[in-house]
Structure 1
């Protein structure tokens, strides 16, 4: 039976947006609750013909927090070369490394060079354990994609949190592939350090029909109150 995660009372869950859209990042930042950004090659592709390094720099200038930028090489030397180049873009850049054999090797080497890393495409607790032992700063379990194959994405987050707490790993658990507000809620309850989500999902966290109904009622009552005051003043 899985035990409840031991959550550090001093920690605060962080919210990242999973996008490369500068307008979305600006709007999320203006809300005052944005802690960072995650990107990947697919998200950058959606922005059209942009210079990748310049675009990552532009993101870093908007948000005061970690910005994950992913390597595209799959061999050790290639990942190291790309990782060092990404690191030079901005002090906020965190290098995303895929969870493969050469990726584990690159995580260790980049850690020894004091380059922060986010180990991505995690789908099992054993993968997450290897990434933590290699010195990853973040591990990104893809909960939505696991749910897609009728497995339990949040259960994976719970297991990783328990393993990291039990063995005192410093790696932060970054819940990724979040699809809806329930994923965010359950990731928070599971003890994830970070939840990264599409901008639309971030906005959906605000929505509740009773909030809308209550605000509509309050505003209607306020208008009735003002009309009554005006009428009373007119009679006087």
Structure 2
């Protein structure tokens, strides 16, 4: 399973990249705003900076909700770097735009997916990635991991090449659940990725090893 980091924070992206397990980045206007990035030129330059750090795909989201405007904006984003994946919302014009981009060889990420039917439409349109938001579903007492499982079954039934990118991942349980079900990608904060390192027996075992070493050294 690929690991993407969901942020616009360059320091966190670099930390994840230096860890050696990062496969890509997803971001959006909200995450850009959180980092104080505003204005078209600044946003474009920030995407370029992200592409300069990572080796894998970088999802860059369109702001437009109308087909023609999505095409214009998406083509501009795709021209920035071969790593750019145009992130398009799951709406009628978004599906039309995904079809257009797929025919032009432009990678896409269909975002804000909350049902298997939406994921099926995105795959039919040729999306490179589909992003079901499992954390937001959990927030309203709907089984987010169950949705991943449904999409996996449908895609496997018909050989769709669209990759399931589990989004709104909050913690290690989400990550491991996605891995067990067969999600192709997970995207989440740096804290979720680093949480996989943690286990109390590892901490206590290391502390004991170091204490034993100090005792031997003193003798």
Q: Could you tell me the TM-score, scaled by structure 1's length?
A: 0.90
Corresponding residue for 1:128?
A: 119
Q: CA deviation at 1:205?
A: 1.3
Give yes or no for the alignment of 1:139 onto 2:130. Answer: yes
Q: CA deviation at 1:68?
A: 0.2
Superposed structure 1 runs of 4+ greater than 3 Å apart: none
Corresponding residue for 1:16?
A: 4
Corresponding residue for 1:76?
A: 67
Q: Using the alignment, how far apart are the partners of 2:204 and 2:174 within structure 1?
A: 25
Q: CA deviation at 1:223?
A: 0.4
Q: Using the alignment, how far apart are the partners of 2:37 and 2:113 within structure 1?
A: 29
Cα RMSD (Å) of the superposition?
A: 0.7
Q: Using the alignment, how far apart are the partners of 1:112 and 1:151 within structure 2?
A: 35
Q: Using the alignment, how far apart are the partners of 1:125 and 1:46 within structure 2?
A: 30
Q: Using the alignment, how far apart are the partners of 2:49 and 2:78 within structure 1?
A: 14
Corresponding residue for 1:33?
A: 21
Q: Over residues 51-84 of structure 1, what are the superposed CA-to-partner deviations in whole Å (9 max), with x where a residue is unaligned?
A: 0000001000100000000001001011101100
Q: Over residues 149-202 of structure 1, what are the superposed CA-to-partner deviations in whole Å (9 max), with x where a residue is unaligned?
A: 101000000000010000100000000000110000000001000011101111
Q: Which runs of 5+ in 1 are unaligned?
A: 1-12, 229-236
Q: Using the alignment, how far apart are the partners of 1:105 and 1:44 within structure 2?
A: 26
Mapping 1:161-180, distance limit 5 Å: 161-180=152-171
Identify the match of residue 157 of structure 1 among 145, 148, 170: 148
Corresponding residue for 1:197?
A: 188
Q: CA deviation at 1:125?
A: 0.2
Q: CA deviation at 1:17?
A: 0.3
Q: Using the alignment, how far apart are the partners of 1:147 and 1:219 within structure 2?
A: 41
Q: Using the alignment, how far apart are the partners of 1:80 and 1:205 within structure 2?
A: 39
Q: Could you tell me the TM-score, scaled by structure 2's length?
A: 0.97
**Structure number with larger C-alpha Rg:** 1
Q: Using the alignment, how far apart are the partners of 1:57 and 1:199 within structure 2?
A: 20
Q: How many residues matched?
A: 216
